[in-house]
Protein backbone atom coordinates (compact mmCIF):
# COMPACT_ATOMS: atom_id res chain seq x y z
CA UNK A 1 0.00 0.00 0.00
CA UNK A 2 1.26 3.46 -0.90
CA UNK A 3 1.13 5.99 1.93
CA UNK A 4 2.58 9.51 2.08
CA UNK A 5 5.71 7.93 3.52
CA UNK A 6 6.19 5.62 0.56
CA UNK A 7 4.86 7.85 -2.20
CA UNK A 8 7.65 9.60 -4.10
CA UNK A 9 6.77 13.01 -5.49
CA UNK A 10 10.15 13.60 -7.13
CA UNK A 11 12.91 11.25 -8.25
CA UNK A 12 16.12 12.86 -9.41
CA UNK A 13 19.44 11.51 -10.54
CA UNK A 14 22.30 13.46 -8.97
CA UNK A 15 25.03 12.87 -11.47
CA UNK A 16 25.86 9.23 -12.11
CA UNK A 17 26.54 8.29 -8.54
CA UNK A 18 23.46 9.10 -6.55
CA UNK A 19 19.71 9.30 -6.61
CA UNK A 20 17.46 11.59 -4.62
CA UNK A 21 13.87 10.78 -3.77
CA UNK A 22 11.48 13.32 -2.25
CA UNK A 23 8.58 11.69 -0.46
CA UNK A 24 5.08 13.02 -0.03
CA UNK A 25 5.54 13.34 3.74
CA UNK A 26 8.38 15.83 3.16
CA UNK A 27 11.28 13.45 3.74
CA UNK A 28 14.16 13.44 1.25
CA UNK A 29 16.33 10.38 0.75
CA UNK A 30 19.71 10.39 -0.94
CA UNK A 31 21.10 7.05 -2.07
CA UNK A 32 24.36 6.28 -3.76
CA UNK A 33 23.89 3.88 -6.65
CA UNK A 34 26.45 1.65 -4.97
CA UNK A 35 24.26 1.47 -1.88
CA UNK A 36 21.21 0.69 -4.01
CA UNK A 37 23.14 -2.00 -5.84
CA UNK A 38 24.22 -3.49 -2.51
CA UNK A 39 20.60 -3.64 -1.43
CA UNK A 40 19.35 -5.32 -4.58
CA UNK A 41 16.78 -7.97 -3.73
CA UNK A 42 16.59 -9.82 -7.05
CA UNK A 43 16.80 -13.61 -7.15
CA UNK A 44 20.49 -13.38 -8.00
CA UNK A 45 21.33 -11.29 -4.93
CA UNK A 46 18.96 -12.67 -2.29
CA UNK A 47 17.92 -16.30 -1.84
CA UNK A 48 14.27 -16.48 -2.71
CA UNK A 49 13.16 -18.88 0.02
CA UNK A 50 15.27 -17.87 2.95
CA UNK A 51 15.72 -14.15 2.22
CA UNK A 52 19.42 -14.67 2.80
CA UNK A 53 21.72 -12.26 0.97
CA UNK A 54 24.02 -14.08 -1.38
CA UNK A 55 25.54 -10.88 -2.70
CA UNK A 56 28.89 -9.95 -1.20
CA UNK A 57 28.60 -6.20 -0.67
CA UNK A 58 32.34 -5.71 -0.87
CA UNK A 59 32.55 -6.92 -4.45
CA UNK A 60 30.52 -3.95 -5.65
CA UNK A 61 33.00 -1.46 -7.15
CA UNK A 62 33.42 1.79 -5.24
CA UNK A 63 32.99 3.76 -8.42
CA UNK A 64 29.77 2.02 -9.45
CA UNK A 65 27.54 4.26 -11.53
CA UNK A 66 23.84 4.26 -12.21
CA UNK A 67 23.21 4.35 -15.93
CA UNK A 68 19.44 4.35 -15.92
CA UNK A 69 16.55 4.64 -13.51
CA UNK A 70 13.00 3.79 -14.54
CA UNK A 71 9.69 3.39 -12.77
CA UNK A 72 8.08 -0.03 -12.84
CA UNK A 73 4.32 0.18 -12.61
CA UNK A 74 3.63 2.88 -10.05
CA UNK A 75 5.10 1.07 -7.10
CA UNK A 76 8.76 0.50 -7.84
CA UNK A 77 11.96 1.60 -9.54
CA UNK A 78 14.47 -0.37 -11.53
CA UNK A 79 18.04 0.58 -12.31
CA UNK A 80 20.78 -0.22 -14.74
CA UNK A 81 24.11 -0.23 -12.98
CA UNK A 82 27.52 0.06 -14.54
CA UNK A 83 28.33 -3.53 -13.47
CA UNK A 84 25.61 -4.62 -15.94
CA UNK A 85 23.20 -5.62 -13.21
CA UNK A 86 19.63 -4.58 -13.92
CA UNK A 87 17.35 -7.29 -12.58
CA UNK A 88 16.44 -5.70 -9.27
CA UNK A 89 13.01 -4.20 -8.62
CA UNK A 90 13.06 -1.65 -5.81
CA UNK A 91 9.63 -1.18 -4.28
CA UNK A 92 9.04 2.28 -2.91
CA UNK A 93 8.33 0.96 0.58
CA UNK A 94 11.63 -0.94 0.49
CA UNK A 95 13.47 2.19 -0.71
CA UNK A 96 11.98 4.20 2.12
CA UNK A 97 12.94 1.47 4.55
CA UNK A 98 16.59 1.48 3.49
CA UNK A 99 16.89 5.29 3.48
CA UNK A 100 20.47 5.85 4.63
CA UNK A 101 19.96 9.25 6.30
CA UNK A 102 20.73 9.76 9.99
CA UNK A 103 17.08 10.21 10.94
CA UNK A 104 16.04 6.87 9.47
CA UNK A 105 19.09 5.04 10.80
CA UNK A 106 18.18 5.78 14.40
Position 104 contacts Zn ion (CB under 5 A): yes
Instruction: Return the number of the residue (57 or 71) whose C-beta is nearest Zn ion.
Output: 57
What is the signed CA dihedral for 16, 76, 99, 93, rounded to 10 degrees? 180
Interface with Zn ion (CB under 5 A), residue total 8
Could you give the C-alpha distances from 9 to 40, 53, 65, 78, 86, in angstroms and in order?
22, 30, 23, 17, 23
* Shortest distance in whole angstroms from residue 37 CB to Zn ion: 8
* Shortest distance in whole angstroms from residue 23 CB to Zn ion: 9
* Shortest distance in whole angstroms from residue 30 CB to Zn ion: 9
Instruction: Return the number of the residue (9 or 104) whose C-beta is nearest Zn ion.
Output: 104
Element (H, E) at 92: helix 92-97
Site for Zn ion in 14-53 (CB under 5 A): 40, 42, 44-45
If DSSP codes are grouped into helix, strand and coil, which group holds residue 96?
Answer: helix
**Chain positions contacting Zn ion, by CB under 5 A:** 40, 42, 44-45, 88, 99, 101, 104
Amino acid sequence: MITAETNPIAIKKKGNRSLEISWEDGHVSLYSFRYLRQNCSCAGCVEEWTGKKVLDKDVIPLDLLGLKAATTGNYALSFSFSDHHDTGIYHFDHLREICPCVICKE
